[in-house]
Amino acid sequence: MVERQEADRLAAILKASSDPSRRSILTLLAQEGPLRITDIAARYDISLNSVSKHIKVLEAAGLVTRRTEWREHLIEIQMEPLSLVDQWFNELRSIWALRLDALEAALKEDDND
């Protein structure tokens, strides 16, 4: 069950980060720290409503959190979920490394024959 939950979480993270605007928002938050939605929207040529919708997708994937300070809603990036993406890419690299090692061994065997 845990593997399925992680797979679902990874899928949500990849889907949320597949949009260029959302990736740009994540980059902005990583560079500048927590920002208000209006400050984020001011950086883009899209409506405040669109930025808000992008933030909600990122929140649902766990990539950002919203915290309230007085009347301000600050959006903050969460780096922890990206460890799932790193883990997945590392698994892919391992698979390819094994395949390349097998190919190298096969080629060396052909050279020896």
Which residue ranges make up each domain of the chain? 1-78
- Per-residue pLDDT, 100: 61
What strand order describes the sheet that includes 64-69? 35-36, 72-77, 64-69
End-to-end alpha carbon distance in the chain: 49
- Per-residue pLDDT, 84: 85
For residue 61, with 0-12 CB atoms within 10 Å meaning exposed, 13-18 middle and 19 or more buried, which class applies? buried
- Per-residue pLDDT, 49: 95
pTM, 2 dp = 0.75
* Domain at 1-78, CATH class: mainly alpha
Tell me if 75 sits within 8 A of 40, measured CB to CB.
Answer: yes
- CA distances from residue 51 to 44, 71, 83, 85, 101 in whole angstroms, order as listed: 8, 19, 25, 24, 46
Tell me if 16 sits within 8 A of 34, measured CB to CB.
Answer: no
pLDDT along the chain (113 residues), means of 10: 80 94 96 95 94 96 93 93 83 65 65 69
